[in-house]
Amino acid sequence: MKLAGHESQLAKKNRPVVIAGPCSAESEEQMLETARGLKKVKGVTVFRAGIWKPRTRPGSFQGVGVIGLEWLKSVKQETGLRTSCEVATAGQVELALQQGVDILLIGAHTTVNPFLVQEIADALKGVQVPVLVKNPVNPDLQLWLGALERLHHSGVTDLGAMHRGFSTLDNAPYRNHPKWEHALELRKLVPELAMYCDASHIAGRRSLLRPVSQRALDLGYDGLMVETHFNPVAALSDAQQQIMPQELHMLLQALKQQNAQV
């Protein structure tokens, strides 16, 4: 399978592309505070925030919904950062595009479902927006490829893949085992596809962010995503893996220094 000519425009400009922002949009203040901090972090060009959250168990915070799209707009207006959020249904695609979201993410719990991916692909016919497709929750390369193909067949021309690790029986010490060889296998099959590493959902904890990010850069990944919050311990989701904007700055600096020594 070849997605010829579909190399991500996003990743062509500045490598690595750094996507940062909170796991979930929680309030306009939380979004703007975090975005103001991120604006000062060299290398960050895209802001992320989950608006609709696919949670493993019921009873967890499910996201603020459409109001969060207004807050993303405020972030763009104030900081000039490009914005991104996860979409999991055709309706969410339409709402996100109406509100000017710049980049769409397909989450791991959606990539796993061909019906949903097809619905999203149909909603994107004739629309030019970059789409980053996370690997499915389970280590199934064909499902990941299938989701990319469905979008490609719908005419999405700016596609990228995002590696967020896989759920296996023993993920230790990670939250989601990286199984780097699976992601590299996808890159072998579709070499023109930009590859992003969602270091936060692989690591699941702050202490692993650096080695995971470094490994991704050493493997030649085009971009990194790191969940960032102005007050991580108070986050409504994924509190244990989010870092403050100034910590992201230090992380990115450390990665550069290591690279320079290689």
Q: Which residues bind ligand PEP (CB under 6 A)?
A: 23, 50, 54, 86, 107-109, 134, 164, 198, 201
Q: What are phi and psi of 178, to 5 degrees?
A: -65, -35
Of the residues 6, 238, 249, 252, which one makes contact with Mn ion according to CB under 5 A: 238
Beta carbon of residue 108, minimum distance to ligand PEP (angstroms, whole number): 4
Residue 16, preceding bond cis, omega within 30 degrees?
Answer: yes
Q: Which is nearer to ligand PEP, 23 or 41 (CB)?
A: 23
Residues whose CB falls within 8 Å of the CB of residue 243, separated by 6 or more in sequence, listed in order: 206, 209, 226, 227, 228, 229, 232, 251
Beta carbon of residue 215, minimum distance to ligand PEP (angstroms, whole number): 17
Beta carbon of residue 41, minimum distance to ligand PEP (angstroms, whole number): 19
Residue type, 74: S
- The answer to the question of residue 23 lying near Mn ion (CB under 5 A) is yes
Residue closest to ligand PEP when measured from CB atoms: 107
Distances (CA, A) of 220 to 8, 106, 141, 171: 15, 22, 19, 24
Beta carbon of residue 262, minimum distance to ligand PEP (angstroms, whole number): 28
The two structure tokens encoding residue 55: 């949670």
| Bridge partners of residue 227, in order along the sequence | 21
The two structure tokens encoding residue 116: 């949903």
| Residue 150 interacting entry, from ligand PEP, Mn ion, none, C-beta within 5 to 8 Å by type | none
- The answer to the question of residue 198 lying near Mn ion (CB under 5 A) is no
The binding site for Mn ion (CB under 5 A) comprises 23, 238
